[in-house]
Structure 1
Amino acid sequence: WGGPETLIVISSDLSHFHPYQQAQCQDRETVDRILAMRSGLGHEQACGATPVNGLLRTAARHGLVPHLLDIRNSGDTAGDRNRVVGYASIAFCDPVPHASKQH
């Protein structure tokens, strides 16, 4: 654990089959919760809530920091905005050490 070879991939959809704008709001709330490292997501927020919650606990235990890469839904890619599925890409990385100040 902890070397450059360490990569854990968790995959989950977010909301399912809501209208575009409703899904955007709901998924943004879910992503904000993930970025705040708050586990306890329900399956209505992410169908893979169980592995996402496990990742959040593991990330907290190892001091990893979440970084949002992108958030979209199928209305952005497939076109139909009446019933969309939400997605987000979030990377959890080691914290960047503060640059030492030179005087």
Structure 2
Amino acid sequence: MAQINEAEVMDALRECYDPEIPVNIVDLGLVYGIDIQEEDASVNVTMTLTAIGCPMAGEVIEEVESRVKQVENVQNCKVDLTFDPPWSPERMTEDAKWELGMI
């Protein structure tokens, strides 16, 4: 059975950007978790958005699924959107805060 590399999945997620903020979704703190299912070569991504009702939600989810499916040995990707806990700027990495001029 082929292994899915978690670091490669995270790298793929770092290629996905919030459409309104020029920072990737990992550094923004939007990714709450990834669950790799080796038996069916799938990855489930639990994530949130910066705002409930984001008009770009569909595009963000499509991009996440598309990027993760490009990772070696990944056959399928499913995004579970949650707003619990709600996103807040405290979830951002220091790099993201620097990029946005918050530090």
**What TM-score, normalized by structure 2, do the two folds share?**
0.31
Structure whose CA Rg is larger: 1
**TM-score with structure 1 length normalisation?**
0.31
